[in-house]
Structure 1
Amino acid sequence: MNTKEYEKWVIDFYRNRGWYEYDPFVRINYLTEEVGEVSRAVRDIEIGRDRPDESEKSLDTKKDNLLEELGDVLDNIIILADKYDMTLEDVMDKHIKKLEKRFDQDQKEDDKED
């Protein structure tokens, strides 16, 4: 599935469940919650959880959990962007231009110093 197909699938899925209707402030809360779950998943992979009430999981299980949480973050970003008539392609294009401009400028300044 390509990016555009996935965006459409997510938007339709969320609309069919009534989840799309949450306003952007609520969506941001969901996004923040999911980013926290990504942080927890990365911590589990990198340093472990060290909790006596949790059993140790395999690295594959931990990575699978991270993959799921990244998907939740992506879905929330897709819905939030769509609410403002933006696509992931718009986000990616704008971000590339920003980074290229920013770091092209840094490169030019570095070249001046040499």
Structure 2
Amino acid sequence: MVDIKAYQNKIIEFYKKRNWYQLDPFIRINFLTEEVGEVSRAVRTIEIGRDRPDEKVPLNMHENLVEELGDVLDNLLIIADKYQISLEDIMESHLSKLEKRYKE
């Protein structure tokens, strides 16, 4: 199992090595939006298919979805890091919000 903090650090290092990290957060948001669109396309392909002769359907649709979700995750991690927010902080804050909002 991959440790979340170790993964975030590795992704940050990877992006910095390729000079992708320094891109402005506004630009990074555009990349995130593009990747979310690719997740949407992957889910649509799995759920209802694609009917376009000019598009190739991935051979392994599940593997494609995993890849696109990873791209979304990486962009989220980079945006969070630019604002000094750890994934753990995000998860704890969000869980607390849900627990307060949806008390059982």
TM-score range, shorter chain: over 0.9
Following superposition, the deviation at residue 54 of structure 1 comes to 3.6
Any unmatched runs of 5+ in structure 2?
none
The equivalent of 2:44 in structure 1 is 43
Measure, in 2, the Cα distance between the counterparts of 1:86 and 1:68: 24
Measure, in 2, the Cα distance between the counterparts of 1:67 and 1:103: 30
Q: Is 1:28 paired with 2:16?
A: no
Structure 2 vs 1, CA of residues 56 and 12 (structure 1 numbering), >3 Å: closer, same or farther?
A: closer
AA matched with 1:91:
I
Measure, in 1, the Cα distance between the counterparts of 2:58 and 2:33: 25
Following superposition, the deviation at residue 28 of structure 1 comes to 0.4
Q: Deviations over 1:28-87 (max 9, x none)?
A: 0000000000000000000001112345555xx001000000000000000000000001
Q: What is the TM-score of this pair, normalised by structure 2?
A: 0.94
Consecutive aligned runs of 4 or more in structure 1 exceeding 3 Å deviation: 54-58
Higher helix share: 1
SS for the counterpart of 2:102 is helix
Q: Does structure 1 conserve the Cα–Cα contact (< 8 Å) formed by 2:35 and 2:71?
A: yes
Q: Is 1:62 paired with 2:61?
A: yes
The equivalent of 1:86 in structure 2 is 85
The equivalent of 2:7 in structure 1 is 6
Measure, in 2, the Cα distance between the counterparts of 1:65 and 1:20: 24
Any unmatched runs of 5+ in structure 1?
108-114
AA matched with 2:5:
K
The equivalent of 2:53 in structure 1 is 52
Measure, in 1, the Cα distance between the counterparts of 2:56 and 2:17: 36
Q: What is the TM-score of this pair, normalised by structure 1?
A: 0.86
